[in-house]
């Protein structure tokens, strides 16, 4: 069987296709080359990141022999503490809350 190397007019060459990555790179290049940017535009693009999550394992508190109900109570208390921490409370504020 012979392979036909000619392409019909409605077929696209793979080399002619622009990928999403190439579009993103072109967009970044245009942004870098654009020198008409103002300070206000830069401020509007500023991103605020959430504070890092604080993970404190409760392995030391759960060490030893615990009943299922004791472990579940400890786990529930840990969930409450972590949800209070996600709200932005400090350890001293969490202790005061409890």
What would the pLDDT profile of 45-74 be if each residue is shown by its tens digit? 777 666 666 666 767 777 778 888 888 888
pTM: 0.39
Helical H runs in 34-67? 39-44
Could you tell me if residue 4 is inside a domain?
Answer: no
Rounded Cα distance, 23 and 65, in Å: 59
Could you tell me if residue 75 is inside a domain?
Answer: yes
Number of domains in the chain: 1
Could you tell me if residue 70 is inside a domain?
Answer: yes
Q: Which domain holds residue 90?
A: 66-95
Contacts of 58 (CB under 8 A, 6+ apart): 74, 75, 78
The CA-CA-CA angle for residues 56, 54, 79, to 5°, reads 60
| CB-CB contact of 27 with 47 (8 Å) | no
Could you tell me if residue 13 is inside a domain?
Answer: no
Report the 10 Å Cβ neighbour count for 66.
13
Could you tell me if residue 60 is inside a domain?
Answer: no
Could you tell me if residue 28 is inside a domain?
Answer: no
Q: What pLDDT sits at residue 16? A: 67
The string of pLDDT tens digits covering residues 4-53 is 555 555 555 556 677 888 899 999 998 888 888 788 877 777 776 666 66
């Amino acid at each position: 069987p012979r392979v036909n190397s000619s392409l019909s007019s409605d077929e696209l060459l793979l080399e002619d296709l622009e990928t999403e990555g190439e579009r993103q790179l072109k967009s970044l290049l245009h942004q870098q080359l654009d020198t008409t940017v103002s300070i206000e535009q830069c401020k509007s693009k500023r991103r605020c990141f959430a504070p890092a999550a604080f993970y404190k394992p409760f392995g030391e508190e759960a060490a030893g022999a615990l009943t299922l109900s004791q472990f579940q109570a400890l786990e529930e208390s840990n969930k409450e503490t972590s949800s209070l921490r996600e709200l932005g409370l400090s350890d001293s504020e969490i202790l005061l809350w409890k």
